[in-house]
């Protein structure tokens, strides 16, 4: 999907639908299968496995306590698939462009800039995890519970330090509030079809459709 | 002890690395411009990248270590002393060798890049592996630290040491020279025979060769001695 505005709309609507009910999750999963590149939009196997395992663990705890464990698992996995697709498709600068288009040059620019920095931070963390893996391998330290804790602390400290450096850089460059960009978007006819489908499916899964048909009858 | 490269080939986008040859015991210098593929070759030799085709055969090499170009990529601990300890070394010994004896409790990222490089260099040399690869070991170091790094390389006295560097001012005594250009690795042979064929030779060596001198090795003092010899 080329238009980031429609991508964001589809992601939000379908994520809400998936989170709200199991039926919504099934509908969102069907949409994901039809309109996304599916496996090409998944995170790396290790990341996908870890995230799915975390969801499964929470679902198990929920089920053990008498909660809707299976439903939770299905709903959260679908939300994860949608988030992975949206993240994979998002290109640099798109979030800023959408925020400015939606909320203007002041608040929109601020929110967009923060979101862009957050996304860049995710990319940097991924690179730093790879570097840490190489460093551990060179030192002959096996990756395990004992090595993960100091690495996690190091990553957090590095991220805080980087955020501070970026903030100082913005101040040095005279950044105060807001900014001016001219967002341009390309909309493919398939984007419109996908997003309209997402909205319709999202609404149908949220509203009690049976009642609507009774009213019509 | 030797490392053999057999028709090594690695392609990444438009970049292709090719190389063949044998690294025997001693100090090898792989020189080349920035972006020529030196770091990629170092990662291949360390087993951190895998070639598309060809093979790397290590004979009699039981331990391998690569010093990464950027010292911060090695850091996995929150203090300088713990970082030294994470290499399986006694922190006090490492800190003394790196001239950082009073910095043990500091955050490694509060060291200057040169200090951090000294720390990681000290760790790699004290681990004393059979195959030691140093990717740009002189970058971020001042002149005195570069000379100290040269001494550590020369004093190692065992195993295979491969230096990947574009440094052209302060160099250690080496046994063989290799060139990397546009991803192609070329073995120039042993020193001193390889020196006249070395296209990336530092200016002082080129000057000595132009004057008809034949330096015994690649250090500045070797060029000076060679010039003195021909001038009587």
Q: What is the ipTM of this complex?
A: 0.74
Partner-chain contact B86 A141, CB within 8 Å: yes
**Chain A, nearest residue to B43 by Cα:** A134
pLDDT at A129: 85
Task: State the pLDDT confidence band at B25, using cuts at 50, 70 and 90.
Answer: very high
Both tokens of B121, joined, read 């260099």
pLDDT at A151: 80
Partner-chain contact A137 B48, CB within 8 Å: yes
pLDDT at B214: 92
pLDDT at A16: 93
**DSSP characters for A17-30?**
HHHH-HHHHHHHHH
CA distance A160 to chain B (A): 13
H or E element at residue A156: helix A145-172
Partner-chain contact B86 A153, CB within 8 Å: no
pLDDT at A213: 57
Both tokens of A54, joined, read 């975390």
The partner residue sitting opposite A161, judged by closest CB among B74, B77, B109, is: B109
pLDDT at A217: 47
Both tokens of B135, joined, read 């990717």
Does residue A93 have a pLDDT over 50?
A: yes
Does residue A208 have a pLDDT over 70?
A: no
CA distance B45 to chain A (A): 12
Does residue B164 have a pLDDT over 60?
A: yes
* Any domain includes B37: yes
First to last CA, chain B: 41
- Mapped onto helix, strand or coil, the DSSP state of residue B176 is strand
Q: Of A78, A82, A4, A31, whose CA–CA distance to A201 is shortest?
A: A31
* Any domain includes B225: no
* Any domain includes B148: yes
Partner-chain contact A158 B74, CB within 8 Å: no
Partner-chain contact B75 A136, CB within 8 Å: no
- Backbone φ and ψ for B215, nearest 5 degrees, come out as -60, 145
* Residues linked to residue B161 through DSSP beta bridges, in sequence order: B27, B132
Q: Extract the runs of DSSP E, i.e. beta strands, from chain A.
A: none
* Any domain includes B213: no
Helices (H), chain B: 38-45, 80-85, 91-97, 113-127, 143-156, 203-210, 220-231
pLDDT at A211: 60
Q: Are B149 and B99 in contact (CB under 8 A)?
A: no
Residues in chain B: 232
**DSSP characters for A27-71?**
HHHHHHHHHS-GGGGS--HHHHHHHHHHHHHHHHHHHHTTS-HHH
CA distance A151 to chain B (A): 6
Q: What is the pLDDT of residues B209-223, one digit of tens each?
A: 999 999 999 999 999
Cis peptide before B46 (omega within 30 of 0): no
Residue contacts between A and B (CB atoms, under 8 Å): 41
B232 or A23, which is more confident: A23
From chain A, the residues in CB contact with B73 under 8 A are 131, 134-135
Please identify which residue in the block is written with the tokens 């949206």: A86
Q: Are B215 and B205 in contact (CB under 8 A)?
A: yes
Buried b (16+ CB within 10 A) or exposed e, A123-160: eeeeebeebbebbbebbebeeeeebeebbeebeeebee
- Mapped onto helix, strand or coil, the DSSP state of residue B4 is strand
Q: Kindly report the average pLDDT of chain A as a whole number.
A: 87
Does residue B227 have a pLDDT over 90?
A: yes
When scoring A129, A139, A146, A152 by the number of chain B Cβ atoms within 10 A, the one with the most, hence best to mutate, is: A139
B66–A contact, CB cutoff 8 A: yes
Q: Of B226, B5, B36, B25, whose CA–CA distance to B129 is shortest?
A: B25
* Any domain includes B174: yes
Chain A residues interacting with chain B (CB cutoff of 8 angstroms): 131-132, 134-141, 147, 150-151, 153-154, 157-158, 161
Cα–Cα distance for residue pair A204/A196, rounded to 1 Å: 12
**Chain B, nearest residue to A152 by Cα:** B76
Sheet with B176-181, edge to edge strand ranges: B53-59, B2-12, B15-24, B184-190, B176-181, B26-31, B160-165, B131-135, B64-67
- Mapped onto helix, strand or coil, the DSSP state of residue B62 is coil
Q: What is the pLDDT of residues B79-108, one digit of tens each?
A: 999 999 989 999 999 999 999 999 999 988
From chain A, the residues in CB contact with B75 under 8 A are 135, 154
Partner-chain contact B76 A137, CB within 8 Å: no
**CATH code of the domain containing B187:** 3.40.50.300
**Chain A, nearest residue to B66 by Cα:** A138
B62–A contact, CB cutoff 8 A: no
Does residue B168 have a pLDDT over 90?
A: no
From chain A, the residues in CB contact with B65 under 8 A are 138
From chain B, the residues in CB contact with A134 under 8 A are 48, 68, 73
Task: State the pLDDT confidence band at A134, using cuts at 50, 70 and 90.
Answer: confident
* Any domain includes B87: no
* Any domain includes B73: no
Both tokens of A162, joined, read 């980087």
Cα–Cα distance for residue pair B208/B216, rounded to 1 Å: 11
Partner-chain contact A134 B109, CB within 8 Å: no
What percentage of chain A reaches a pLDDT higher than 90?
44
Cα–Cα distance for residue pair B75/B203, rounded to 1 Å: 35
Q: Are A93 and A116 in contact (CB under 8 A)?
A: yes
- Mapped onto helix, strand or coil, the DSSP state of residue B181 is strand
Q: Find the domain containing B30 and state its range.
A: 2-63+129-200
Domains: count for chain B: 1
* Any domain includes B224: no
The pTM assigned to this predicted structure is: 0.75
From chain B, the residues in CB contact with A139 under 8 A are 74, 76, 86-88
B109–A contact, CB cutoff 8 A: yes
From residue A43, how far is each of A54, A73, A81, A83, B223 by CA, in Å? 15, 18, 9, 10, 56
Q: Kindly report the average pLDDT of chain B as a whole number.
A: 92
Burial of A162 (0-12, 13-18, 19+ CB in 10 A): middle
pLDDT at A26: 93
CA distance A106 to chain B (A): 35
- Backbone φ and ψ for A144, nearest 5 degrees, come out as -160, -170
B50–A contact, CB cutoff 8 A: no
């Amino acid at each position: 999907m080329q238009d980031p505005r429609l991508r964001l709309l589809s992601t939000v609507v379908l994520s809400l639908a998936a989170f709200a009910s199991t039926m919504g999750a099934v509908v969102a999963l069907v949409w994901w299968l039809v309109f996304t590149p599916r496996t090409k939009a998944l995170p790396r196997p290790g990341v996908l496995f870890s995230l799915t395992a975390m969801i499964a663990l929470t679902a198990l705890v929920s089920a053990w306590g008498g909660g809707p464990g299976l439903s939770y698992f299905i709903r959260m996995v679908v939300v994860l698939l949608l988030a992975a697709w949206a993240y994979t498709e998002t290109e640099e600068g798109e979030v800023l462009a959408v925020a400015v288009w939606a909320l203007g040059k002041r608040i929109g620019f601020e929110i967009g800039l923060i979101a862009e920095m957050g996304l860049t931070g995710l990319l940097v963390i991924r690179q730093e995890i790879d570097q840490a893996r190489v460093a551990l391998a060179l030192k002959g330290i096996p990756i395990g519970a004992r090595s993960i804790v100091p690495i996690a602390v190091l990553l957090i400290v590095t991220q805080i330090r980087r955020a501070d450096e970026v903030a100082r850089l913005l101040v040095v460059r005279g950044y105060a509030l807001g900014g001016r960009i001219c967002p341009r978007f390309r909309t493919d006819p398939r984007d419109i079809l996908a997003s309209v489908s997402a909205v319709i499916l999202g609404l149908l899964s949220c509203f009690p459709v049976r009642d609507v048909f009774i009213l019509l009858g | 002890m030797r490392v053999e490269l057999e028709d090594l080939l690695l392609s990444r986008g438009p970049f292709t690395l090719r190389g063949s040859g044998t690294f025997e015991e001693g100090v090898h210098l792989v020189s080349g411009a920035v972006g020529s593929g030196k770091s990629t070759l170092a990662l291949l030799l360390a087993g951190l990248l895998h070639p598309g085709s060809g093979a790397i055969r290590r004979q009699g090499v039981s331990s391998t270590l690569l010093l990464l170009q950027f010292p911060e990529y090695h850091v996995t601990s929150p203090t300088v002393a713990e970082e030294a300890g994470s290499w399986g070394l006694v922190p006090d010994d490492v800190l003394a060798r790196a001239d950082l004896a009073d910095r043990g409790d500091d955050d490694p990222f509060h060291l200057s890049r040169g200090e951090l490089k000294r720390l990681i260099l000290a760790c790699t040399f004290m681990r004393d592996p059979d195959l030691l690869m140093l990717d740009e070991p002189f970058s971020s170091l001042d002149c005195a630290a570069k000379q100290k790094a040269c001494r550590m390389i020369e004093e190692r006295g065992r195993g295979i040491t491969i230096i990947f560097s574009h440094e052209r001012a302060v160099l250690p005594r080496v046994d063989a020279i290799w060139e990397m250009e546009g991803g192609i690795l070329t073995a120039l042979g042993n020193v001193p025979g390889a020196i006249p064929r070395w296209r990336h030779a530092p200016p002082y060596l080129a000057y000595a060769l132009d004057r008809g001198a034949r330096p015994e090795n690649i250090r500045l003092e070797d060029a000076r001695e060679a010039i003195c010899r021909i001038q009587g």
